[in-house]
């Protein structure tokens, strides 16, 4: 029986209205990644993308977020080891003050979307208005291009995110950011890449580049439903329908079959996370991904990592980065994230 959003007493009425206006997200199984790539070029997909873009653009207006005290610049960065070019949207206060930095990775299941979409531009400004810098990275998506034209499976996006982080450190003086107070953050697929980047930095001996990881509604299991994650059944159909194989095929089925925690952090062991810096996992009550995020939080505690969890009640997946819907919820999380970066 399909999920009926109108009858769910848990969900904020503003989100019910938003959900009723959203077009359904594709939820059928695919034979492989090529089918997803072919789907991008089908005529109906353009209409689907256009509607989502329009909803996202409505988030970035002066009524939603002020840009008056901010400067916004774009930077091209060469990523390693492939030598491709990625882009960073850099937002900071207009002052000459050296400030902490939130290195932000956008969502979209590691497969789609862009930090230059309207909702992300707005979200970056909301966070930066708390007197921090925000460096938002556009990496190689695995299926549908961001502002970066190439699409590649794992580990391309992860390598791009780590490369962008290193560029931010190398240019800290000119960006007027405090290199000793840089945190990585992201939601959904960006939450995956936040945790993956932390584990990769740890593995490579570079964990000192960051003082914390802040993962919002992380998309980290790769396969749903799972009995160990009750929310993957209880909340399925609220914005996300995850009962299909599209995610693991789009990002790289080989990495999923190998149980690689750098691709899907739910495969991580205590040893994989021991030594991480501070971790915050922020989840949404009515999100099918809620319980996998909470499991990762508990894994960090078991490994002796200083960790905490937050839950936004009455919210769907990623509510915080749609500031037009529930502005006070977005503002509250932005303040917490900025305070986390400040230490």
pTM reported for the whole predicted model:
0.97
Under the banding of pLDDT at 50, 70 and 90, the label for residue 60 is very high
pLDDT of residue 70: 98
pLDDT of residue 59: 94
pLDDT of residue 112: 95
Q: Cis omega (within 30 of 0) on the bond before 155? A: yes
Is residue 94 within 8 A of residue 295, CB to CB? The reply is: no
pLDDT of residue 297: 99
**203 contacts: CB under 8 Å, gap ≥ 6:** 262
pLDDT of residue 218: 99
Question: Tens digits of per-residue pLDDT, 183-196?
Answer: 999 999 999 999 99
Examine residue 31 and state whether it is found in any structural domain, yes or no. Answer: no
Mean pLDDT rounded to a whole number for the chain: 96
Examine residue 39 and state whether it is found in any structural domain, yes or no. Answer: no
Examine residue 92 and state whether it is found in any structural domain, yes or no. Answer: yes
Question: Tens digits of per-residue pLDDT, 88-108?
Answer: 999 999 999 999 999 999 999
Examine residue 36 and state whether it is found in any structural domain, yes or no. Answer: no
CA distance readout (Å), 43 to 18, 22, 47, 76: 25, 19, 7, 31
Examine residue 229 and state whether it is found in any structural domain, yes or no. Answer: yes
Range of the domain at 85: 8-24+46-342
**CATH number of residue 14's parent domain:** 3.40.50.1820
d(CA 213, CA 280): 6
d(CA 191, CA 274): 18
For the chain, what is the domain count?
A: 1
Is pLDDT at 43 greater than 90 in this prediction? no
Is pLDDT at 302 greater than 80 in this prediction? yes
Percent of the chain with pLDDT over 90: 90
Lowest mean pLDDT among 38-47, 51-60, 74-83, 145-154: 38-47
Examine residue 2 and state whether it is found in any structural domain, yes or no. Answer: no
Is residue 95 within 8 A of residue 70, CB to CB? The reply is: no
Under the banding of pLDDT at 50, 70 and 90, the label for residue 2 is low
The count of residues in the chain is 343
d(CA 68, CA 98): 19
Under the banding of pLDDT at 50, 70 and 90, the label for residue 259 is very high
pLDDT of residue 55: 85
Question: Tens digits of per-residue pLDDT, 156-176?
Answer: 999 999 999 999 999 999 999
Higher-confidence position of 80 and 2: 80
Examine residue 259 and state whether it is found in any structural domain, yes or no. Answer: yes
Is residue 154 within 8 A of residue 75, CB to CB? The reply is: no
Under the banding of pLDDT at 50, 70 and 90, the label for residue 53 is confident
Examine residue 38 and state whether it is found in any structural domain, yes or no. Answer: no
Lowest mean pLDDT among 55-59, 85-89, 217-221, 303-307: 55-59
Under the banding of pLDDT at 50, 70 and 90, the label for residue 1 is low
Question: Tens digits of per-residue pLDDT, 263-282?
Answer: 999 999 999 999 999 999 99
**292 contacts: CB under 8 Å, gap ≥ 6:** 218, 220, 221, 226, 229, 231, 232, 266
């Amino acid at each position: 029986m399909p999920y009926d959003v109108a009858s769910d007493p848990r969900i904020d009425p503003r989100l019910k209205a938003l959900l009723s206006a959203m077009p359904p997200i594709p939820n059928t199984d695919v034979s492989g990644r090529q089918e997803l790539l072919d789907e991008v070029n089908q005529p109906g997909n353009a209409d689907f993308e256009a509607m989502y873009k329009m909803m996202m653009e409505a988030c970035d207006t002066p009524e939603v977020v002020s840009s008056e005290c901010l400067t916004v610049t774009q930077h091209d960065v060469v990523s390693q080891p492939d030598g491709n070019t990625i882009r960073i949207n850099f937002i900071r206060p207009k002052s000459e003050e050296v400030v902490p930095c939130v290195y932000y990775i956008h969502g979209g299941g590691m497969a789609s979307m862009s930090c230059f979409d309207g909702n992300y531009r707005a979200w970056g400004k909301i966070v930066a208005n708390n007197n921090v810098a925000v460096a938002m990275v556009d990496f190689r998506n695995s299926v549908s291009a961001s502002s970066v034209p190439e699409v590649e499976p794992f580990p391309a996006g992860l390598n791009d995110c780590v490369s962008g982080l290193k560029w931010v450190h190398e240019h800290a003086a000119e960006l007027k950011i405090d290199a000793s107070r840089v945190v990585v953050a992201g939601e959904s697929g960006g939450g995956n890449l936040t945790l993956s980047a932390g584990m990769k930095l740890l593995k490579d001996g570079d964990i000192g580049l960051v003082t914390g990881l802040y993962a919002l509604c992380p998309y980290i299991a790769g396969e749903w439903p799972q009995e160990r994650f009750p929310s993957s059944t209880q909340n399925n159909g609220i914005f996300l329908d995850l009962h299909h194989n599209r995610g693991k095929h789009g990002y790289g089925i080989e990495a999923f079959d190998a149980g690689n925690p750098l691709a899907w952090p739910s495969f991580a062991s205590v040893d994989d996370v021991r030594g991480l810096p501070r971790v915050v996992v922020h989840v949404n009550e009515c999100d099918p991904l809620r319980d996998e995020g909470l499991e990762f939080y508990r894994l960090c505690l078991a490994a002796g990592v200083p960790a905490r969890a937050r839950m936004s009640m009455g919210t769907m997946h990623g509510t915080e980065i749609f500031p037009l819907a529930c502005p006070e919820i977005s503002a509250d999380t932005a303040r917490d994230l900025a305070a986390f970066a400040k230490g």
